[in-house]
Amino acid sequence: MTGTILHVADVHLEAPFSSGGLPPVVGTRRRQDLREALKRALALARKERVDAVTIAGDLYDGRCALPETGAFLAGAFAAVAPIPVVIAPGCADAMDGGASPLLSVYALTRWPDNVTILPPGPLSSVEVAPGLSIWGAAWSAGGPPELPPEAPDDGRRLLLLHVGPDGAHEGGAPLPNGLTADALRAAGFSYALLGGRHAGGAWPQEEPCGCFAGSLEPLAPDEMAGRHGAVLVRIGADGACTAKWQEDARWRYVALSVDLGGCENEDAAARRIEAALKHDRVRTDARAVAAITVTGLPEEGLDLTEVEARVDARAYLTMRVERPFPYDLDQLAQERTVRGLLVRRFRAAPDADAPLDHDLRMKALSLALQALDGKGVRPSEVA
């Protein structure tokens, strides 16, 4: 007998979306659209007549969720009954390890009979169809659950886990709980239904035996790549599984670089940015967030706040200025001076190649070199 699971993870209902310089109205709209995305995923579960819906954690943001969030979820899950909904809570919606775990939405909500919330601790199971069971546990600050050393002979088994805040392991590297494809199979599991990585994809990349669903909607600019949506997992009579993503995200992040060299005023700069936004219809997309890197800014400068205000676009814009680095580091590294020593040590630092910190590190190095040169450093430059 075959089976089908609709797998979801990392929805992050009630996420604040407060970073990035976007207005509060964007956060309000995004939160509403996250609810709509979950509704669409559950509608797909009804249409496909799946055997179960699985959710691998971070269903909501525990910092911001209210009892009303639980009421919404209970109603949405009741609407797909009698399809079972099996939830393994994650970090953001943790059942333990939070400041007030007894006040979590999971504890405060009256859930319909078709909902099972897996507790932290040892793996527990739910049979969702004859010979097809979901095994899992809630994420716990005390550590991940252990897999059984041997496979019991009880039919097809799927593992449901949120692997925690370090879930973005690539390739075939072990997950934070040490889970490997070999260990999964040795424990008698056909497939792993995972959460904790917002950009979804197969796990491991070669010879997959599991998947990260990815968030239903991209939640931050660094999530432009990867898959976002629900996953239909088909389970054969022999336990072989295949995954098919149903990507239905309405929001998107776009990164653009715009050279403002030669722009004499704010109007000219705004027109140039509008021309760049025509790419892939970003300018007319009310659910696009365009991160614009401005280069070639004239020496006399332009008021970028005014430039942004004059750009005619439905997309939401954020801007940052990229200026040429004011020093030749190769030349400075050859100097037998304090400046040269600083550059050499900077380059030799263990995390010198970390991409997320590169801009901040380069800014710090520039300020340090300016200080050594006797140049004044404004307080705003030190932030």
> What would the pLDDT profile of 112-166 be if each residue is shown by its tens digit?
999 999 998 899 999 999 999 999 999 887 777 888 766 556 668 999 999 876 5
- Residues sharing a CB contact under 8 Å with residue 328, sequence separation 6 or more, in sequence order: none
Q: What is the mean pLDDT of the chain?
A: 86
Look at residue 82 in the predicted model and tell me its pLDDT.
97
**The two three-digit tokens of residue 98, written as one number:** 């939070």
CB atoms within 10 A of CB 169: 17
User: Distance between CA atoms of 117 and 144, rounded to whole angstroms?
Assistant: 16
- Give the contacts of 69 (CB within 8 A, at least 6 positions apart): 13, 14, 60, 105
What pLDDT is recorded for position 173? Answer: 53
Contact 273, 38 (CB under 8 A): no
Choose which CATH entry (3.40.190.10, 3.30.465.10, 3.40.50.300, 3.60.21.10) describes domain 3-246: 3.60.21.10
Which residues lie closer than 8 Å to 200 by C-beta, 6 or more apart? Answer: 9, 211, 212, 213, 214, 215, 226, 227, 228, 229, 231, 245
pLDDT of residue 376 exceeding 80, the answer is: no
Dihedral Cα 313, 218, 99, 136, nearest 10 deg: 160
pLDDT in tens, 75-126: 999 999 999 999 999 999 987 545 444 568 999 999 999 999 999 889 999 9
Q: What is the dihedral of CA 195, 317, 280, 43, to 10 degrees?
A: 40
Q: Quick one: pLDDT at residue 377?
A: 56
pLDDT digits (tens, 9 = 90+) for 335-362: 888 888 998 988 887 665 554 466 677 7
Neighbours of 102 (CB within 10 A): 9
Other Cβ atoms closer than 10 A to 227: 20
pLDDT class of 27 with cuts at 50, 70, 90: very high
Residue 324 pLDDT class (50, 70, 90 cuts): confident
Residue 30, Cβ neighbours under 10 Å: how many?
A: 21
Query: Which of the pair, 363 or 2, is modelled with greater confidence?
Result: 2
Q: What is the pLDDT of residue 378?
A: 54
Q: Are 191 and 210 in contact (CB under 8 A)?
A: yes
Instruction: Give residue limits of the domains in the chain.
Output: 3-246, 252-321, 329-382
Of 103, 101, 95, which Cα lies nearest the Cα of 57? 95
